[in-house]
Amino acid sequence: MKLRLATPGPTEVPQRLLLAGAREIIHHRSTEMEQLIHEISGALPPLFGTSSPVYTIASSGTGAMEAAVAGCFSAGDEVLVVSNGYFGERFQAICTSYGLVVHVVESDWGTSADPERVAAAYREHPEIKGAFVVYSETSTGALNDVEAIGRIFRDTDVVVVVDAISGLLVHPLEMDAWGLDVVLAASHKGFMLPPGLAFVALSDKAWTAVERSTGPNYYWSFKRLRQFYPMSSSSPAVSLLLALHESLKMLDEEGMEAFRRRHAVLGKAAERGLLKLGFSTFVQAPNRRSHVITSALAPEGIDTGQLLKTLSTSYGVTMTGGQAHLKGKLIRVGHVGAADALDLSGIFGALEMALLDLGHTFTPGSGVGEIIRTFHEEGR
């Protein structure tokens, strides 16, 4: 049985990238590695919309989140955390573990954060030194307006930290133009790679915060990253860097406009297909939807835990469900990275078969038909 991923990360890794990462290891202080890192370091900043360096860490995305807290703040600092899902809550937990005083701007799961509420919280807590926000909240499929949030703090000393781990590449992000100070990303989303690399870009304002910070750090030290840049401050994930080099070529070949267009159509097609099968859209307008995943509430009588188990054991498809209070109620169809119309059609074919196994009544082929119809209409 062939295994397929339909998750928000890890994603399917194209064979071209697997082969690039499978080549012989090169030494991380060799001339060849210097050339590799030089090319990677030149290609990353435009993807972040910045003229600043982008630092690469051998880490998960969560490591980048912790690095931002450990590197820019000190125990006792007051910060705002914008939380409208599981990963907003993770920012809150990391900040708390480092002794920061956290003020939370919370909204319901499935909604986009309201920038006006963020501005109001800043007026209430004018001493804050940082504001944390998730761009694409993959626990729900909601997209936050980080451009508007960045604008609130542009002319202040507040450091705006953005988890763009899944949102980068899939959605536009202009770090410098939007006034964002620390932007975080990771390899296993839009870059189409296995987990293991994290990326961090810092503004001049963020570097001022780094110099001010008294928090303990070593591996997460931005000062060490800057000292060794563009080379790694520790032994790097060589195989992943080889694959990243090839990933950047693939992204350049497709072009960012086409890449984002493909993801927008994937999101539209997935939503149409789910609605046809009796699911209901979880992120409702006027909230903004991410093109990383499509989330939907299951039809009455369908336990998504059982549905996902059937998909995995009978059809080899891994799909994610709801987290926390949404377990058993929500599915999240991931279509980020290298996914295309045929991938999504296959995923929906398996979804339909699993639903039939569970006794759900619908017209077989109707979900897949919506995928085909959408891509045909969009000229893809």
User: Does 172 sit behind a cis peptide bond, omega within 30 degrees of 0 on the bond before it?
Assistant: no
- Residue among 211, 218, 126, 162 nearest 48 (CA): 162
Strand, coil or helix: 289: strand
* β-sheet with 293-297: strand ranges across: 4-6, 317-321, 330-334, 293-297, 280-281
Q: Residue 37 corresponds to which amino acid?
A: I
Q: Is 272 annotated as a binding residue?
A: no
Which structure tokens are listed for 65?
A: 């989140």
Q: CA dist 82 to 87, 149, 186, 198, 355, Å?
A: 10, 10, 20, 21, 36
Q: In 10-168, which ranges are continuous DSSP H helix?
A: 15-21, 31-48, 61-72, 86-97, 115-124, 146-153
Residues 6+ apart with CB under 8 A from 280: 296, 297
Positions at the binding site: 332
Binding residue numbers for substrate: 332
